[in-house]
Structure 1
Amino acid sequence: MSMAAPDWYLVSLRPRGQHEPMRSAAARHGGGVVAISPWALRRRDDEHVEATLSMALGAPRVVFTSPAAVRAAAALLPLRPTEHQQWFAVGSGTAAALADAGAREVATPERMDSEGLLALPGLQDIARTRIGLVTAPGGRGTLVPAFEARGATVVRADVYHRQPLSPSPRAMTALRELQRPAVLAVSSGEGLQQVLLNLPPDLASRLRALPVVAASDRLVELAERLGFDRASRARSARPADLADAAAAALR
């Protein structure tokens, strides 16, 4: 028996190999996915990175910015907070990755973005405090300036990097031939800009014609600056929340 065609599509901008959670989330609302990968994630494992990570993990407060950062760090060193440390995750997915790695006492904001993280009580009184930031180059660009403005010293460990990718011919064909209603899900400003830069003009225009659901107010504002007319906020960057918002945007 053949499966019915989806009623609508979620255009998913995620790293290569990480679209499956979006497919499952969209399918619960009768949707399909057009997968476009702005980059692939590559773990860094040289001696300098391990040394920097060791210093970051030794800080009194340690912040992880993504599940990919957790996985890359865990491949290098054990992730075990001491009783004298406070560890933080930018969202529930990052916290879950830390729990899988053995770090369960982690603070996570209800609002799962940089602004929510910065509002956590444990990151307020941080003058003359070292903060370990486990992350990748680019992204979460508001964190370091915000920590430093509060008087903290940031020990940054870039444990992976993003290798830019051009949209695949399959993805461009799917976007060009899209006949049913569609919504663009945005959880990374850099990812959105990377895709727009590499799409042919006709497909960039087609993408801009779609309604957007974005994972933060900052991303809503970015989408509007980039020429998207209809942008709304999802509860978080989790696939389920993005798919819920996308389904609501089409009602």
Structure 2
Amino acid sequence: MKPRSPPPAEHTLDGRVVVVTRPAGTGSPLARKVRRLGGDALLLPGLSLRAVDGPGAATALRAALGDELLVFTSPAAVRFAARLASLDTRAMVLAVGRGTARALGRHGLKALVPAGSQDSEGLLEHPALAGLNGRRVALIGAPGGRGVLRAELAARGARLREVHVYRRGVPRWQRRQLDAVMQLPADARVLLSSAEALNNLKQGLPADAFARLCRAVAVASSERLADAARAAGFRRVVVADSALSENLLAAAARA
């Protein structure tokens, strides 16, 4: 077998521990990328994701698929929606970021994405959302969050329908994960792409474990999240170009 070529030097992790805070059950692909770049991945989810129970969610989703515009808020929104119903639609489809658009593409849907920042604010700058007076718009995701899309779409005159296909919660950590956090070296990297996940870690981890986590370098997916990381106690913070795995890891490597 031909040996695998090493990654470019500027993108190697050089044996560093990289803490993956993606939701429980979703971090393994990113952990594999960490290992391919020469890092040591520690899965420490900041969120748990659960399907919405009951037949009402499927009924609401099928109705929403007939609206004029569909806005998917995350790859998880796509995954849980596809479990409820086939994502067949004639609507214009928009995704909060390229990762969400990729998830939609696996179900045959081509989505419009932000040209700039890969977040709610970036999506709201898309021309497709400029004039919504009276248009039927479905926002597909989970309850809670910052509510930026919800508030602004309504303010722009959309006939807004929210469809909750999953719920976010606080994960349960195992003793081995907490022990690993307590052993984190100062040059570890902590990948952050959700303010809610960061808050769960701060509120849910033992105080000494979170303090140890904050000794590491936070790699934030946006300036907004970088500010939240500093407020939470991280002293060293770098900002990635987006929440996409390749951007987070590139920032982790150059930090």
Shift of 1:153: 2.6
Unaligned runs of 5+ in 1: none
SS in 2 for 1:74: helix
Q: Summarize deviations over 1:45-69 as a string: whole Å, max 9, x none.
A: 4221122212322221110011111
Q: Which residue among 133, 142, 160 is the counterpart of 1:136?
A: 142
Q: Counterpart of 2:162?
A: 156
What is the total number of aligned residue pairs between the two structures?
Answer: 242
Given that residues 184 and 210 in structure 1 are in contact (C-alpha distance below 8 angstroms), is that contact kept between their aligned partners in structure 2?
yes
Q: Which amino acid aligns with 1:8?
A: R
Q: Counterpart of 2:127?
A: 121
Q: Summarize deviations over 1:179-201 as a string: whole Å, max 9, x none.
A: 36201111111011001111111
1:109 equivalenced with 2:114 (yes/no)? yes
Q: Which residue among 24, 28, 33 is the counterpart of 1:20?
A: 28
Q: Counterpart of 2:84?
A: 76
**Fraction of identical pairs, as percent:** 38
Given that residues 46 and 171 in structure 2 are in contact (C-alpha distance below 8 angstroms), is that contact kept between their aligned partners in structure 1?
yes
Q: Which residue among 89, 99, 108 is the counterpart of 2:95?
A: 89
Q: CA–CA distance in 2 between the matches of 1:29 and 1:41?
A: 28
Shift of 1:178: 2.2
Q: How does 1:31-70 map to 2 (within 5 A)?
A: 31-70=39-78
Shift of 1:36: 0.7
Q: CA–CA distance in 2 between the matches of 1:112 and 1:21?
A: 20
Q: Which amino acid aligns with 2:96?
A: V
Q: Which amino acid aligns with 1:117?
A: L
SS in 2 for 1:75: helix
Q: CA–CA distance in 2 between the matches of 1:6 and 1:246?
A: 11
Q: CA–CA distance in 2 between the matches of 1:114 and 1:103?
A: 20
Given that residues 186 and 216 in structure 2 are in contact (C-alpha distance below 8 angstroms), is that contact kept between their aligned partners in structure 1?
no
Q: CA–CA distance in 2 between the matches of 1:124 and 1:170?
A: 49
Q: Which amino acid aligns with 2:112?
A: A
Q: How does 1:212-231 map to 2 (within 5 A)?
A: 212-231=218-237
Q: Counterpart of 2:9?
A: none
Higher relative contact order (CA 8 A, sep 6+): 1
TM-score (norm 1): 0.90
Cα RMSD over matched residues? 1.8
Q: CA–CA distance in 1 between the matches of 2:95 and 2:156?
A: 19
Give the 4+ runs in structure 1 shifted more than 3 A: none
SS in 2 for 1:125: coil
Bigger mean CA offset, 114-123 vs 73-82: 73-82
Given that residues 26 and 243 in structure 1 are in contact (C-alpha distance below 8 angstroms), is that contact kept between their aligned partners in structure 2?
yes
Q: Which amino acid aligns with 2:29?
A: P
Q: CA–CA distance in 2 between the matches of 1:203 and 1:75?
A: 36
Q: Summarize deviations over 1:48-99 as a string: whole Å, max 9, x none.
A: 11222123222211100111111211122221231xx311011222112212
SS in 1 for 2:178: helix
Shift of 1:6: 6.1
